[in-house]
Every structure is written in C-alpha cells, then in structure tokens.
Structure 1
Amino acid sequence: MKNLILAFFVMLGGLSYAQTTVSGKVIDDSGQPVPSANVIVVGKSEGTVADFDGNFTLTTNEAPPFNLRVTSLGYTDAEVTVTANNQTLTVTLNESSTMLDEIVISASRTPERLFESPVSVERFGLKEIQNTAAASFYGGLENLKGVDINTNSLTFQSINTRGFASFANTRFMQLVDGMDNSSPALNFVLGNLVGMNDLDVQSVEILPGASSALYGANAFNGILFMRSKSPFDFQGISSYFKTGLTSQEAAGDNPYYDVGIRAAHAFSDKFAVKANFSYMQGTDWFAVNQTDLSNPGADRSNPAYDGLNVYGDDFSIPLNFDALAGLPSGTLGSARVTRTGYLESDLTDYDAQSVKFDGAVHYRPFGDDLEIVWNSRIGRGSTLYQGANRYYIDNFSLQQHKLEIRNDNFFVRGYITSENAGDSYDTRFTAININRRWKGDQQWFQQYAQTFIGAKLGIGSGLLATDEQAHAAARAAADTGRLLPGTPEFQSAFNAVTSDGDLTTGSRFIDRTKLRHVDANYNFSHLTADFADIQVGGSFREYELNSQGTIFTDIDGPISYSEFGLYTQIQKQFLDDRLKFTGSVRYDKNEFFDGFFSPRASLTYTAGENRNHNFRASWQTGFRNPTTQDLFIGLNAGAAILVGSAPSNLDRYSITLPVSPEGQIDTGLSNVTLTGRDAYENAFSASALQQGRIEASNTNLVQPEQVVALEVGYRGQIGKVTIDGNVYYNQFNDFISQRNVIVPLYGQVGDNSLSLQALGNQDTQVFQVYTNSLTEVESYGATIGVEAKVFGDFDFGINYTWADFEFDQAADPDFRPQFNTPEHKVKASFGNTQVFKNVGFNINYRWSDTFLWQNAFADGDVPSFSVLDAQVSFAVPSIDSIFKVGGANLLNQEYFTAVGTGFIGAQYYVSWTINP
C-alpha cells in the first residue's frame, strides 16, 4: 500500500511538472487592448479567451517549445512561440484589411466566414460602430450597400432592403438576441426606439432578400440581427454622453441629449450579469407642408382645401347650393367643402424621446457546455409615425422577456412581447374631433351654406359676391368662435379628445397586444461532420390582439390566433472544401391558411491558389402571412375605412352613416349601416371611377404572399482591395396589397340602378380593403461594393445599388405597388482610425436618386438628395475615453425620404465614451 501511495505522488508530481502556464496581453497596433481574442495552442483543441482588458492565462500539458495562434474579428491572425514555462507574452494584432475572415451567423444559422456565406450579408461590427459618423450606430447602417433607411422622425428610422416598403415595413424582420423586435400589433419595427443600447452592441448583420426557409413568414424581404455583448466576455462599467443640436428651417435649432451606461460582471466562470440603460431627448423634425392634396398648386381659398400637414380639413361634404336655396339647378352651383383644419404643429409638441433598459443573467452550470440566459428589455418612447394618418406615439412602451437555454449545438428560447400605446393619438382625428367638440358638422356646414347663398344673392349688402368672396365669407362666418391653438379652451378640448378612444369623439388609440414565441434549433454537426452539417428547428407563435376596438375589431374582447413552423438544413462540402452546397426547407402553418413549404438551395465555390475568390448562387422561396392588420383591422382613418379580410372580420366591423336628402327621397332611408362584408362584396372600383368608368370591385380575401428569389454573387480579395457584388431577381405571386373601393349606401352593385343613384347623390363610403394583386410582380437589382486600404493605412469604400421593378398595371388597375425605393444609390466612405496617434476620422457620403413614394397617407415624388456625415475622434487612453465631434447631414441640405414627413435637417453632436 505504501508503495502504491508513493507511486501515485510520483506520477502526480510528473504531471504537475509537465504542465505549462502562459500569460499575456493582446493589444492592437495602437496599444489598445483587444477583448475576447481567442488564444489557441496550434495543433490542439486547447485554448482560452482574453478578458475585457485583453489579458489571458493558459495552462496546458504541452511542453515548450510550442506555438499559440491568437485571433479576433477584424484583425489579422498572429502566431507566437512559447519557449518556457510561466512566460509572459505581449501579442499585437494588426487591423485586418479584409472582410474575408469575419464570422457571420445569420445566413445559415451557424457560424461561418462571411467570405463563404451562401447569400448576401452586410455586417456592422465593433469597429464600424465605434467609427460611424452618424449620431447612432443604427443611423450608421444607412451607409451599408443595398440598405435604405426611411426617416419617419428623429427617433424612428425604418430599414428597408430591395424595395416594397413604407414605414410599416412588414416585409422586414429585426431580431435582438434572437427576439423579434417588431410591434405585435403593428407587425413592423419601430427602428431602435425601444431596441438596443449602443454600448451593448457586439455586431449587426443584415440579410437582404427572402429568408423564410430558416426564419419564417416575416423574414420575407430582409432581416436584421443585433447581437449583444456577453457579460462573461465584456466586463466592467462603460458609459457615454452625447449632446448637440438639431437644425431645421421649420423647427430652428434645438438641443438634444443622449446618455447611456452599461455594467457587466462575471462573479465566476459560471455566473455573470449585465444591465444597460440609455436616455435620449430631442425635438422632432417639424412637418409643415401645406400643399393642397385636392388641388396641388392652389391656395387655401379653395373651398375643398386639404393640406398635406393640415388635419381636420380632410372631412368634407358636397353642398348643392341650388337645392338648399330652392333655386333652379345652375343658379348658384355646388361645391365640395372641407372644414377648416389645424396645422400639425398645433397638434403635437414634437417631443422625441427614447428610454431603454435591459438586464440579463447568464448561468453556466457545467462551464461552457451549457448556458442559461434570462433577458428582459423594457423601452419607452415618443415619436411620430406615419401610416394612413400621422400618429403621435406618446409614452409608447414595449417589453420583452426571454428565457434561453443553449450551447454550441442547440438552443431553446421562449419569449413574450407586450406593448402599451400609452398616450398615443391620431393627429387627424384630433383635429376633426376638436372641431366637432366646438361645433357639430351639421351646424357648421349649414352656417357655411346659408352665408354663401346670402353673399351670392346680395342679401343684406345688396352686392353680389363672386364665388371666391362668397366662400371666404361663408368660412369666416362658420368659423366664428373657433377654438384657437394656445388658448385654454383649445387645450381643454385637445386634452379631452386625445384621452378618448372612440374615434367618433376622440383620437386616442389603445393597444395592449401581446405576442408569445418559442423557437428551438439543434445542430447535429458534431455527430454528422464526416457526412454533412445538419440542423433542424421549429417555432410557435401566438398573437393576442387587444386594442379595445380602437385599431382592431376587438370591441368585445381580445382576438387570438397562432402559427407554427418546422425546418431543416444540410450543408456539404466537396472538392477539397472549395465547393459548398446548402439546402434547406421550412413548413409553416397559420390557422387561417393552408400550410406552405419554402425551400432554399445554394452553391458557393472558392477559387484561386490562395482561396481568395468566392462565387455564389442561390435559389430561395419565401412567403409572408397577412399581418394582424391585414386580417383584423377595423379603423375609420377619415379618408377611408380600413377593414381586414379575415373571414370572421367581415361582419365584426360596422358603421352607421346618414343618407343625403336626395337619397332619402330615392330610398326612404335616413341612415344606413354598412359592414366590412360590403367592402369586399358590394363595392365599385375607386380607380375605375377616377378614370370615368363604372366597374364593380370584386375583392378576394387576402392570402399569403409568395416570392421566388434568384441571386448570384462574388466576393474576392485582390491585394488590399475587397470586392463584393450581387445580382438578384424576385418574382412575387399573390402580392399583398391594399386598394380603395367605393361602397354605395344603398343598392346592389351591378344589379339595379339604386347603386348608381347612390353614386350620383354621393351617398358612398370609401373603404380600404386588404387583398392580393391580380398581377405578377417582378423586382430586380444589383449591388457592388469595393473596400481598400489607400495612402498607406486609410480606409476607403464605395458602393452602388440599382433596384427596379415591373408589373402589368392593366391586369390590375387598382394595384399600388409601393416600391418606395430609388433606382440608383451611391455611397462612399473615407477614414482612418489612427491618422495621428489617438486621432481618427471618418467621412460618409451618400446620394439617392429621385423616386415615387406611395403610401396610404400621401403619394408623390421624393427628389434626389445628397448627404454628408463626418466625425473626428480623439482617444485618451489614460482615462479609457474616446471623444468624438461630428455631424449627420453636416451641410444641412434638408431632404425627406417620404411624402408627408418633416424635412430632415442637420444633427451636430459631441460625445464622450468611457470604455475601460
């Protein structure tokens, strides 16, 4: 026994003697630490990861001498030799001049080199986030090729790729640490209003084009992934303070503030936590366009004046002055008259605010083999949103809570998203109902007509007025005593209207919709690597619509429905790993529609002696389920009533409308009740009527939209020059669209003359219905980008995007494609992170071509524009700080990206970031 014990301790001593410990620090070429660098023993699976300060310690059984390979995203690899035990090393990584080795996850749901991705991917990493000249990292995404950002307001920017989008971009998905960041009720992303703190972003990936095969219905025309920093890898307290001003001709110069803090700590190798908080406050871009939509070029003397950013004047009726005065037809004539409206600036304070908090607990019970994460995100903000109307989103909040279990081979996550519209309201109905609270429509129009008739006939004055004089006198008389902005009476009415959720008397919209989502993925690569990489996954989602009848037809209680999906993917490499095949298929089922398969296949080939040329081709299919609004909306937006086309929704919405005196003579009815079913089954085509034709509108109920996408591309590295380009073609079927129809208050369209009499008497109601286009839609485009090191160590990049579409308008005259994308775009960047010691700069320029904007609020041309952003940064290593001075739209050449929004001015800023 004694001999055995002695032998054991001798063996233990021998093992201890064989162990080698190496410590060191990883820095960049400016001496700054490189956090989370990988340190691996060459030829072995042993390794470690540097901490936040770049420090590492590695213990191995390997005896010196041996080599370590040190790698980090954005840097070239370094290899150093260990010659002795307890050696201390300093490893310098040089900034990489190529994107080839950057790792992306989005394209295949598994880590792979961007160079070998089977589809187009745009990546925005730590370096790009730090050096962006935009006021935020989210705004900096606009400089990526193929990416459009439609600016709705200061705090709401909507990302779009490859066309067909408005601010309600329901064809684009945004994931934050795997959670869909879309509003559950609106089905689109509110930019980064309630998203991620700048300090916590590790990387952003944008996958343009169809991605349904792996990500389901909403990943139809693009998807954005935001990944946050792990508290194990990025520890400490960091913060930023940013201030400056926004400058706009309409709004003047206004200050804004943006502050944030991040705290993370690993208490052990098993337990770590983090928390983030940010607050942004500013003044939004004023929208002051008073162009008359009913008669562009006319002034406000037009009795039917309907200003673009003037609300309340959208409510109008035809006045037959001859009939009202009992005079022969043609004596005084008739006119459509609108009530007097209020400016948008009378109806909102343009306060822009964003408050975001998130926290996470990470637990690794068995080391790196398993990680359990609880993550909560809570955001609140105020912004302007433009849909069918202009909405002031005031104190809107969104919460997301996630539980995830994961390791290198699988994840299972479940999360819930809930939102609260807060004090949000519709500016158009605010104006309409302030007018009505002061004086009812019937009384106002009666006074208008009486005054006009009297002026034309010279009653009282003895002078016969012209039409223009009579209309001016009539409006002045009807408006006598009108509530004026700035008075206590106006404010009292405003407060009452914006707190009332009944759109017949108020303008507030209520939304407490929830979304529950579970998804899982298992990667069998560790088991099947000798054959192929295989993974399977699935998801389940449930919506609970709760607007209390202010958005949806849920006046009698919440509406719930669900959908699920299953997918699998296989990747196989051939020809010395130069050729890679990727194939995947997904099956999705929504409870209202038949199930749908969306397959995808791609090939990539790596050529060249140094494997520095990669060619790719992909065939993808995608689908998009109708949104919650497409199915269950029931909203009187003033210009039209929006009604969804879920079969159960057709009779859920109803409205009672008055019949004109002429119609009462024809029918004996004083009021008529219409339902959503009338909009789909008894309506005239609005576009045909505008062209002088009378045609029935036979509207089918909405079905899922489908796309087939083809893409070929090339990525390559030639010396210090990186090239990335692609050409794509999309073919859409059952393209989901909205169309306006005209429902007669009486009569059956096509069956009798009563419906035609309703048209003649203007006893009609405009509805906006949700359906599928009758025509096939095609879109196509190309992007090319070049990045290079020039003049030694300066970064230069330039890219060009071309996008276009076509369809047969004659096959579907009512179809409005809403492509909303310029045909040509050019973007360029130039900078250096170390032009002098601790001094860097970056300049971004972008030019956008003229394009047609189509949206429910208004249509029109968006003129071409050029924008210059720039920043200069100063690093102070002794206090772990970077100071930055910059400006977005530095030259303050005001522009807009959508008709109806405020012009975008300049945003100047200074910032101080502390990141130890």
Structure 2
Amino acid sequence: MSKTFTKAIFTCLLLCITAVVVHAQTVTISGAVTDKATKEPIPGVGITVKGTTIATATNMSGKYAFVVKQTGPFIIVISYVGYTSIEKEITGNIANLDFEIETAVVLGQEVVISASRTPERILESPVSVERMGPAVLKELSAPSFYDALNNMKGVEISTQSLTFKSVNTRGFNSNGNNRFNQYVDGMDNQAPGLNFAVGNIIGVSDLDLDNVELLPGASSALYGAGGINGTMLMTSKSPFDYPGASFSYKSGINHLNDNNTGNQQYNQLDVRLAKSWNNKFAIKGTFSFLQAKDWQADNYSNFDRVSRTFKPGDRASDPNYDGINVYGDEINANILTVSRQLQAGFQSQSPAGFAGMTALINAFPNYNLDQYVATITAPGSPFGGLAPAIPYLGIVKGVKNNTISNQDVSRTGYNEVNLVDYNTKSLKTSGSLHYRFTPTIEGIAQLNWGTGTSVYTGSDRYSLRNFSIGQYKLELKGQDFFVRGYTTQERSGDSYISSILGSFINEAYRPSQGPATNPTSGWYAQYALAYSTALLKGGSDAQAHAAARSVADQGRLMPGTPQFDAVKENIMNNTISSGKGAKFNDKTNLYHYEGMYNFSNALDNVVELQVGGSYRIYQLRSGGTIFDDLNDKIDINEYGAFAQIAKKMFADKFKLAVSGRYDKSSNFDGRFTPRVSGVYTVAPDNNIRVSFQTGYRNPTTQNQYIDLSVAGGVQRLIGGIPSMLNKYNLLTTNVPYTDVSYRAFLGSVAAGAPNPALLQKYNFDPRGVRPESVQAYEVGYKGLLGSRFLVDAYAYYNSYKDFITAVEVYQQNKDNTFSKFGAPVNATGKVTSYGGALGLDYLIGGYNLSGNVSYNKLGDLPADYINDFNTPEVRYNLGLGNKEIIKNFGFNVNYRWQDKFYWNSSFAAGNVPSFSTIDAQVNLKIPSVKSMLKLGGSNILNKYYFTSYGNPAVGALYYIGFTFNP
C-alpha cells in the first residue's frame, strides 16, 4: 500500500476521532407543506439548508422533520418541481412550520445524491446525471420505468426478451452489460454468477419506486469496481414518508400481426403496503407479478461461426447451414473426411472385400449403382462375395475418383421456439422493517426476492426458467453516515442452454458418431453412405445431399410429439456437468459490507469530506455447470476504501472536488482510481462543469473461472487467468493457433492441398487477463435560461487501457483434430471513444416539451481488438406532455429514433437497422378515490425492431391500467 494512501487513511481516522468529540448545537425543525390552491399535502417536497448538503423531504402526508447540527440563523429552501421555491430564515428550534407553495414553471431544482454521494441540486452536479423523480414516474408513457430509461439522454437498452433488458451508456453495449452498475437501495443488483444486472428481476416495482438517478460514464472513484460506463441508483419509497396501501393492475396485449403467435395477453399486478407508528417504527411489503408471452427470436440467417460472417443459403440449399436462432446445427463434420474414415474402416475389417470392390470398380469404371449391383448379384458372378459390401460401393468409388465433395455438413437443428420457454413470468417481492433510534438515525432490515422465467442472450441463448435472486440487507444510517451489509443469493432454478439442448436431442435419436462396434450407425456415417450412393446412382451433388439428409434424419424427433417432449424434458432436467444434460446448477452467492461517513457537518461545512470502505466476497458454486468448480469451491475477495473532499471558493462561484479510491481483488494487483471535478457558476442557475475521472473493472467471475461448453459443444469458453489457461495446456505445453491462420489452413484443406505451415501460434500473456481501466474526460453545461428553458449539454472522451475483449483459438489434438476455445484477453493497445449529448426542456403553458440527442463514436482500435462498440452514432428522443390538459386529464408522448449500426457479440454479429418508435399514454386522475386510470402503449405503431443482433424483434404493447393511491 502506498505511503500517500496510508497518510490519507490516517488523516481520515484523525478526523473521525475529532468528529466524535465535537459537540455542535442542534436545531430541530418540523412542519408540513401543502398546495396553496387545493390545500392538499404534497409528498416529496425538498427542504434544504441553503449552502449545505443538509436536506430532507416531506412524507406522504406532506409532513417533514429534521435536525440541523449548527446554530442559527440559517436559511432553509423549500422546493418542488413545478412549484415556486420558498426561502425561510431559521433562528432556533421550531415546530409546526408550515408552508403553502404555488404552482409555477420551474426546472432543474431536483436534488440528487449519486453524483457526489451527498445531496446537491442537479444543476450543481459535478458530472452528468439523469433523474426520474416521483412526478415523472407517475406520468410515464412506457409500460414500466425500466422501459422508460430509453428516454434519458445518452441511454440505450439491449432487449433480449420481454423482461430481460440491459442498460448502457457511452458505447460498448452488450447483451449482459458488465460495464454498467445497478444499485437498489444501496445494494449491487448484479447476479454474482453473471456479474451484471438481470434487468429488473429483483429491482424495485413501479409502485414502490421513489426515484432513479443515472450517472453516464466512469464512477469507480466513488462506487468501486465496475460501472466503467455508468451507474444507476434506484431508491424505493420509505414507509415513513409513504405509508398506506397502494395497488396497480395493468392488462394489455402484444404480438399484434405476429405470425409466430398471434395476439397474446399481458397482465401485471403490483401491491404495496406500508405502516408507521409514532415516527419510530415502520414496516413495508410489496408484491409484483407479471405474466405474458415473450417475444420470439426467429432470425434464421445462415451464419459462419468460424469466420463470423454470413453466407448464402438455407437448410435446403446449404448442407452446412447454421441458423442464428436454430440450435443443434452448430455440430458439423467434413463429408469427405467421414467418407475416408468409413473406407479405412471397411478396408481394415474386410481386406478381401475392399480388394474385390477395387477390382470391380477398375473393371467397370463407368458403371452406375444399378449396374454394379446387377453384376454382383448375377448368377455365378466372380464378384458375388461382395453382396454384403454393396453399401460401401459409393464410398470406395467416390474416394477413388475424387467425386465426393470436400464439404462440411451440419446436423439438422431445431428452431428456438421449439426449445426455449416463452411463457414469461416475473414475481418480485420485498419487505423491510425500519426503526428510528433518533429523528436522524434509522435501522433497516430488508429483503428483496425475485423469480421468473425469461430468455437471456450471452454466448448462447439461455432459457432462464424459475431463475431466482434474493437480496438480504441490514443497514444503520444517519444524516451523515451509513453502515450496511447484504448478501445476494443467485439460484439458476431450471435454467438451461438452448444449443446444448438441441444437440443432445439430436444425439438422443441418432449419435453423430456411431460406437466402435457399429460405426456405420452414426448420423454422419449414414449421411456419407447415402450421399455417395446417391452420387453413384447418377444424382447431382445437391440431390445427393438432399437424399443423404433424408436418410440420416430418419427417426428424427419432431417437435410436438410425445417422444420429442420426453427426451427434451430429460435433457432439461440433467445438469451440464453430468455429460447428458443442458441444465445449470448455479448457487453462487455474494456478500458485501460497506460504510461511509460524511464529516461536512462536523466541520461546519468549511469543506465537504467523506470517507468510506467496502469488503466483498464472491462464492462461486455452480457444480461445474458454469465455472471450474466441480471439485473445488472458488471464493474471490475484494476490498476497497475511498475519500472525497470538496470546497467552494471564489465567493462560492466555484466548487472543486477531489476523490480517490483504492481497490484490491484476490487475483489482481490493487489499483487507485482518482477523480477531479470542478463546477463554476457563471450566472445564477447556470453552471459549467469539468471533470477527469478514472474507472476500472475487474475481469468478471466468468472472465476468471468459466469452463463451459457452448454452441452445442463446438466451442469451450474458459477463464483467462493463468490457472485456467494451464488447465487446457494453452500457455506452454500445447500452444493453440489463431483463428485467422486456422481458417487459412481450412482453405488449403478444401483445395485438396493441406498446408500446416499456414497455422500460426497464438501466445497468451502469461499473466492472464487483467483489469480494464478508463480515463474519462468530460466538460458540460447545465443551466436555466429564464424559468422555462433548461439546457444540459456535455462532451466526453474516453481512453481505455487493457480493454477486455475475447479471442478464439484452435488447439490441435493428438488425432490431428482441432478443439476450439474462447477466452478473455486484454487488447494490447488503447481503445478510445468520444461523443456528447444535448438535452432541452421547455415549459409553455402547462405543456412540457423535451428533447435530447446523443452522439457516440469509436476512436482508435488496436489490431487485436474485435470491435464490439455496439452503439449507434446518433440517437434522439422527443417528448411532449401535460399533467392536466383539462381538469384531472393528462397525457405524455415520447418519440425515439436511433441510427443503424453493426452489432458484434460472442453469440452473433450483424447489422441492426435504424428504427423509430413511439410510446404514449393518457391518464385520468380520480381524486375522490385517490386513483388514476391510464391507457397507453409502447411502440404504438407496431413497427417491429430489434436492438441487438440475434435477439427477438419487439412489437407493440398496448395496456390499460388502474392505480389506487399512486
């Protein structure tokens, strides 16, 4: 550990001791806030001590109470979006300090916490931050707040299924995004075995969500490893601030004009119950259940997984067809190689028969099959002994005359719809107990648990069935500190890999390779014999391949039959590690402990100072179905600490903040990530911000320890740390070859002149895969022009070092076959990206007109980096809404467009066309019963689109919803 870091820790500890002995006079303030016109209480109103970070908010009854640790006089500010702010001087303790606030057109007054881990106005944030507050959440046009994240500036979502979506900012999007952190009430929302958030499976329900804050860009200096491209914080409603009962029911339809399914029903129920007693004890419980038919992936394009390019043809025209959303057809073999093996076996088992057949062919070189058979079976024929060997005639003659094509042939696969469970379900529940030891110190015990059935795209398409994650937290927090510990428990349930399922169904009715006692019973042997026989009958090559597949596929298990279902069920219920199943057995856990103290109040806000630390344990427990943990338990330990100091200067016009964090993981060296930011107030409510941030992420648990066969057994994914590379002798004993040179070698084989000299070795770094880091530079402006026009703009430049990418290599086996491996590696040079965004909000009358545009561009690339920027250069959003166009009636419309781009992932690669979509809703508020009726839809024009290649196309979802006590 560096001397500088040691000194910083010592200083922080000294300040902690100082803070304990400092006694500051406290002032207690309480009261209520109501709407001046309606006299109704307003929840969520911000009350802030001017010039400090001390803040609170009104509860569901419009009441507030908080303690200020400083002497009067000072000024408090009462602010709420859409209302005129009020300032009030406080000289001492005061109760029943009530305020009536008037409706006004005010923007940019929201208070955010995520940017600096301390409350501040969003206008004064030192970095870019996006926010959805309670007022916005009630008026969303999208079916859920998670879908509505797309409307935020610079945010994009990859949709793998109806309930599984990955959020991203600033490029390098992926199906499972491990460069973006997601927190729920302070808990890292990732599935620890996957290392990324599984959409909103265990997130907050819409009914219980208080606010969402999203930080585009690096945030490791405050939040630790991960979040190299962004961090999102979701905060649920406190039972103290939002007591009572609420429920929401939403019903709708999707799959309109979908030839795969026809119209399907969508239903969702949310319930929330909260109760508090004497502002000391409170309890909350939530329940959410969604049921629908999922979007179906039906991309049957012919994909070459070796060269990762498309090729013409379909199953009828290409013997080696490999459909993107077809599984089991990843397995292939060269028909010429199989024919030669069959001939060699025949010659070995029957030397006399082989000699006789060769003599027959030499004697009658131009005969077809019927003529040969007639000659063999003629009475007294000298070739009569060859009758049992007639099936080998085509093979022997074809190999001898070089008429068998040097063609790879794939097995007949099964469409995804026949293998994956599209009966989407999502059940989320949460509960919490709250106790206030003092008005500012609160203890919380909380659980979040979710389960469901969905589909996720990784290196394969994974059917997540009865997948569940539980999070359990204990926390003690105050106005200036928090200490929390939580665990995340991931359970794979009945989840399985679709390509392994498809391949094993094929193997169940006819193995690809027959046993040594009966080699001709294998699928490829049957294919080769039938193919060569068809050629000998005089058929064309295409006709021969069609005839051969028909013969080899005899007895094939057909979807919808009891035989198919029985075999499928058996494979789904056996684990991958058993060697006869496709099922995961993941029981990976995460344990996390952290704390933070804010010394700002103890230092009378002369400076803002925060320190914190964390400790984390990953327990990988997949039973050998994901990780290399069949015989050994794998634990990964991580710990870190951070400090941040900020100071206003130059008559409070400029605020400088400096922060840094040190982190260490079991398998990697420790690292320090600093951040420096400055905010300059050029005019009231107009600020320019500049920041330099660093971020990093450790290789994921899978990057380190995965050991998984995918693509129907064609490829094995392995971790990139030295122990995993050594397990397969890839570092020294049997160094593999590059994929480019392997393809060149295959070309020489296809030309009939194999040239092993074309094979070039790939040398892994002996250190293995290492953490990835980024240096991020940003400049931005956020300001109010008048009270009705808000402008937010930023530009950024990112430079990545040791960028984690992937490599595919081919290792030669003793029998001269090749095994394909995929492993994570670090790109040797720098990867750069840059871009910017502009957001505008304009209030005119009661209408809110908004729009934003984002630009993201990939810069420099190392030669060994596979481009997976996976982000459109340009995307924009337009919005128009009015909370009350007439009495109690409001609406909201959002239009989104994004440019075309090329998607590259370990599953598939291809062009994602540009698309546009419209979400809209109209709502009727019914104050007499505290309810809202909403009619809306996403993608209301029903223009099907997809966000990432190989994933399903998304159509319209229309719904009607009723919410009580929103």
Query: Does the alignment reach a TM-score above 0.5?
Result: yes
The one-character-per-residue Cα deviations of 1:627-665 (angstroms, maximum 9, x if unpaired) are 10000000011342100022332345xxxxxxxxxxxxx
1:797 and 2:850 correspond: yes
Q: In structure 2, what is the Cα distance between the partners aligned to 1:350 and 1:123? A: 33
Which of these residues, 829, 832, 856, is aligned with residue 775 of structure 1?
Answer: 829
Q: In structure 1, what is the Cα distance between the partners aligned to 2:320 and 2:289? A: 44
CA change 1:589–1:798 in 2 (3 A) is: same
- How many angstroms does 1:79 deviate by? 6.2
- How many angstroms does 1:57 deviate by? 9.7
Which of these residues, 894, 903, 908, is aligned with residue 953 of structure 2?
Answer: 903
- How many angstroms does 1:89 deviate by? 6.9
1:620 and 2:693 correspond: yes
Q: How does 1:494-533 map to 2 (within 5 A)?
A: 494-502=568-576, 504-529=579-604, 531-533=606-608
Preserved CA contact (<8 Å) 1:789 1:796: yes
Q: Which residue does 2:841 correspond to in 1?
A: 787
Q: Which residue does 2:778 correspond to in 1?
A: 711
Q: In structure 2, what is the Cα distance between the partners aligned to 1:902 and 1:59? A: 53
Q: Which residue does 1:94 correspond to in 2?
A: 103
* Residue type at the aligned position of 1:486: G
Unmatched segments (≥5 aa) in structure 1: 1-19, 61-65, 459-463, 653-674, 748-757
Equivalent position SS for 1:649: helix
CA change 1:465–1:387 in 2 (3 A) is: same
- How many angstroms does 1:775 deviate by? 2.2
Which of these residues, 465, 470, 495, is aligned with residue 394 of structure 1?
Answer: 465
Q: In structure 2, what is the Cα distance between the partners aligned to 1:853 and 1:45? A: 43
Q: Which residue does 2:295 correspond to in 1?
A: 285
Q: Which residue does 2:806 correspond to in 1?
A: 738
Which of these residues, 226, 236, 254, is aligned with residue 218 of structure 1?
Answer: 226
Preserved CA contact (<8 Å) 1:98 1:717: yes
Preserved CA contact (<8 Å) 1:827 1:844: yes
Preserved CA contact (<8 Å) 2:29 2:97: no
Q: In structure 2, what is the Cα distance between the partners aligned to 1:709 and 1:86? A: 47
* Residue type at the aligned position of 2:774: V
- How many angstroms does 1:375 deviate by? 0.7
Q: Which moved more, 1:900-909 or 1:296-305?
A: 296-305
Equivalent position SS for 1:526: coil
- How many angstroms does 1:37 deviate by? 3.3
- How many angstroms does 1:680 deviate by? 9.6
* Residue type at the aligned position of 1:310: V
CA change 1:680–1:285 in 2 (3 A) is: farther
1:254 and 2:264 correspond: yes
Q: Which residue does 2:792 correspond to in 1?
A: 724
Which of these residues, 912, 929, 947, is aligned with residue 862 of structure 1?
Answer: 912
Which of these residues, 451, 455, 469, is aligned with residue 384 of structure 1?
Answer: 455
* Residue type at the aligned position of 2:771: P
The one-character-per-residue Cα deviations of 1:394-442 (angstroms, maximum 9, x if unpaired) are 0000000000111011111000001100000111111100111111111
Q: Which residue does 1:633 correspond to in 2?
A: 706
- How many angstroms does 1:32 deviate by? 5.3
Preserved CA contact (<8 Å) 1:322 1:330: no
* Residue type at the aligned position of 1:738: A
Q: Which residue does 2:934 correspond to in 1?
A: 884
The one-character-per-residue Cα deviations of 1:353-407 (angstroms, maximum 9, x if unpaired) are 1100101111112x22311111111100111000111011000000000001110
Which of these residues, 404, 426, 450, is aligned with residue 332 of structure 1?
Answer: 404
Q: How does 1:367-446 map to 2 (within 5 A)?
A: 367-442=438-513, 443-446=522-525
Aligned-pair identity (%):
41
* Residue type at the aligned position of 1:495: E
Equivalent position SS for 1:826: strand
The one-character-per-residue Cα deviations of 1:568-624 (angstroms, maximum 9, x if unpaired) are 10001101111000101111111111110101101110012xx12100100111111
1:554 and 2:626 correspond: no
Q: In structure 1, what is the Cα distance between the partners aligned to 2:34 and 2:744? A: 71
1:449 and 2:528 correspond: yes
CA change 1:47–1:857 in 2 (3 A) is: closer
Q: In structure 1, what is the Cα distance between the partners aligned to 2:240 and 2:673? A: 38
Q: How does 1:31-430 map to 2 (within 5 A)?
A: 33-37=41-45, 50-54=58-62, 70-72=78-80, 75-78=83-86, 91-99=100-108, 101-248=109-256, 249=258, 250-294=260-304, 296-301=311-316, 302-320=318-336, 323=340, 324=343, 325-326=395-396, 327-328=399-400, 330-365=402-437, 367-430=438-501
- How many angstroms does 1:710 deviate by? 0.4
Preserved CA contact (<8 Å) 2:115 2:127: yes
Q: Which residue does 1:844 correspond to in 2?
A: 894
Preserved CA contact (<8 Å) 2:66 2:440: no
Preserved CA contact (<8 Å) 1:679 1:741: no
CA change 1:496–1:874 in 2 (3 A) is: same
Q: Which residue does 1:664 correspond to in 2?
A: none
Q: In structure 2, what is the Cα distance between the partners aligned to 1:265 and 1:446? A: 71
* Residue type at the aligned position of 1:805: L
Unmatched segments (≥5 aa) in structure 2: 1-27, 69-73, 305-309, 344-394, 514-521, 746-757
Q: In structure 1, what is the Cα distance between the partners aligned to 2:508 and 2:603? A: 71
Q: In structure 2, what is the Cα distance between the partners aligned to 1:841 and 1:276? A: 27
CA change 1:312–1:32 in 2 (3 A) is: farther
Q: In structure 1, what is the Cα distance between the partners aligned to 2:29 and 2:125? A: 37
Q: Which moved more, 1:263-272 or 1:831-840?
A: 263-272
Equivalent position SS for 2:221: helix
Equivalent position SS for 1:428: helix
* Residue type at the aligned position of 1:472: A
Equivalent position SS for 1:345: helix
Equivalent position SS for 2:424: strand
Q: In structure 1, what is the Cα distance between the partners aligned to 2:678 and 2:65? A: 41
- How many angstroms does 1:55 deviate by? 5.5
Q: In structure 2, what is the Cα distance between the partners aligned to 1:58 and 1:603? A: 30
Q: Which moved more, 1:522-531 or 1:861-870?
A: 522-531
Q: In structure 2, what is the Cα distance between the partners aligned to 1:618 and 1:799? A: 22
* Residue type at the aligned position of 1:150: S
* Residue type at the aligned position of 1:305: Y
Which of these residues, 702, 705, 712, is aligned with residue 769 of structure 2?
Answer: 702
- How many angstroms does 1:699 deviate by? 1.8
CA change 1:445–1:34 in 2 (3 A) is: same
Q: In structure 1, what is the Cα distance between the partners aligned to 2:914 and 2:831? A: 25
Q: In structure 2, what is the Cα distance between the partners aligned to 1:521 and 1:680? A: 49
* Residue type at the aligned position of 1:334: N
Equivalent position SS for 2:191: coil
Q: How does 1:6-45 map to 2 (within 5 A)?
A: 26-27=34-35, 33-37=41-45
CA change 1:43–1:156 in 2 (3 A) is: closer
RMSD: 2.7
CA change 1:55–1:593 in 2 (3 A) is: closer
* Residue type at the aligned position of 1:615: I
The one-character-per-residue Cα deviations of 1:43-72 (angstroms, maximum 9, x if unpaired) are 999999644133679999xxxxx9996433
Preserved CA contact (<8 Å) 1:38 1:71: yes
Equivalent position SS for 1:573: strand
Give the TM-score normalised by structure 2: 0.84
* Residue type at the aligned position of 1:698: N
CA change 1:371–1:58 in 2 (3 A) is: closer
Equivalent position SS for 2:586: coil
Q: In structure 2, what is the Cα distance between the partners aligned to 1:53 and 1:860? A: 53
Q: Which moved more, 1:269-278 or 1:643-652?
A: 643-652
Equivalent position SS for 1:525: coil
* Residue type at the aligned position of 1:587: Y
Preserved CA contact (<8 Å) 1:322 1:331: no
Equivalent position SS for 2:821: strand
* Residue type at the aligned position of 2:813: L
- How many angstroms does 1:808 deviate by? 3.6
